[in-house]
Amino acid sequence: MLNAVGTTDRRYSRDKSEYFSTLGKDLTEKLLKTKVAKNYIKGDIIAQSDRPSNYILLIHSGLVKTLTYLMDGREFVVDTPAPGSVFGEIDVLMQTRPSFEVQALTDCEIWTLDAKIVKDAIASDPEVSMNLLYYVVRRVKELEDRLLCLTSVSIPSRLANALLRLSNAESQCGRVANKINISQHELASMLPASREKVNRCLREWERSRIVDLSPGTITITNPRALHEYAIC
C-alpha cells in the first residue's frame, strides 16, 4: 500500500545527481512535493518492462537492479543504481514502455514522482526541454559505453568493475563499503558470465587475499589490487 509523504526532503533539491541538476532547484522541489513512498524487500519487482508508466521513480534508500533477459532466458543486469538515482524518466519523456525490469537488490524505499510536472515544464519552457534532451543523450551514451565495456573486456575485469560499483553503492547507503551482500548467481548476471566462471575467479582472488568469501557476502580486503583488474 502506498503512503503519501507530505513534506519535501530538501536533500534532493541540493543533490548533485545529474537529473535534478538538469531540472533545476524550483522544478525539483515541485516534483518532490508529489512523492509517494513505498517499501520493497529484496527480490520484489518494482517496475516491469511491459507496463508503461506516468511516473518517475527515485531510489530513496537501498539498492535496485535494472535488468533484461537474454535469448537463452538468462538474466542480464544492466545497472545497479544507488540511492538518489532516478529511473523511468526517459521512458516517460519518450512515451514508451520501459526497456528494463527493475527489482529490489536489497530492502529499499522508492519514491513515485508525478511525471506530469516535468511534462508541463517541457511544454512551457524551451530551456527545460533542451536541457532534458541533452540529459537523455548523455544517459544513452553512458549505457552504450557500459555495454561496449561488457563485451570487450575479460571476465576478471568485468567482475572487478561490478564489485567496485557495488561497493560504492553500499557506501552511499551508509553501510560498510567493502562488504557486499550478494549471491554469486546475482553477480554473474551483472557481467554476464556463468556462475562457475565467477566462482573460479573469486576463489583465485580469495587465495590472493583480494576478497574474502562467505555465503551471500563478498568482502573486498584489498581494494587497490581489485582496482588493478578494473578497466572501465
Average pLDDT of every residue of the chain: 85
Which whole-number Å values give the CA distances from 42 to 1, 6, 46, 164, 207, in the listed order? 17, 26, 10, 21, 30
pLDDT of 111-141, one tens digit each? 999 999 999 999 999 999 999 999 989 988 8
Q: Both 157 and 138 in a single domain?
A: no
Rounded-to-integer distance, Cα 189 and Cα 186, Å? 5
pLDDT of 25-39, one tens digit each? 899 999 999 999 999
Q: Which of residues 107, 134, 151 is at a domain's end?
A: 151
- Tell me what pLDDT residue 173 has: 65
CATH number, residue 20 = 2.60.120.10
CATH number, residue 158 = 1.10.10.10
Q: Both 133 and 167 in a single domain?
A: no
Model's pTM, two decimal places? 0.76
* Furthest C-alpha separation in the chain: 60
Q: Which of residues 119, 151, 183 is at a domain's end?
A: 151
Q: What is the mean pLDDT of residues 152-168?
A: 88
Rounded-to-integer distance, Cα 184 and Cα 195, Å? 6
Q: Both 173 and 109 in a single domain?
A: no
Q: Both 173 and 212 in a single domain?
A: yes
Q: Both 109 and 159 in a single domain?
A: no
- Assess contact for 210 and 217: CB atoms under 8 A: no
pLDDT of 43-97, one tens digit each? 999 988 777 678 999 999 888 988 888 788 778 888 888 888 898 898 888 777 7
- Tell me what pLDDT residue 120 has: 93
* Total tally of structural domains belonging to the chain: 2
Residue span of the structural domain in which 211 resides? 153-229
Rounded-to-integer distance, Cα 103 and Cα 81, Å? 11
Q: Both 12 and 115 in a single domain?
A: yes
Q: Both 161 and 147 in a single domain?
A: no
Q: Both 112 and 218 in a single domain?
A: no
Q: Which of residues 123, 151, 179 is at a domain's end?
A: 151
- Tell me what pLDDT residue 177 has: 66
Q: What is the mean pLDDT of residues 212-217?
A: 92
Q: Both 159 and 116 in a single domain?
A: no
Q: Both 26 and 54 in a single domain?
A: yes
Q: Both 86 and 183 in a single domain?
A: no
Q: Both 53 and 123 in a single domain?
A: yes
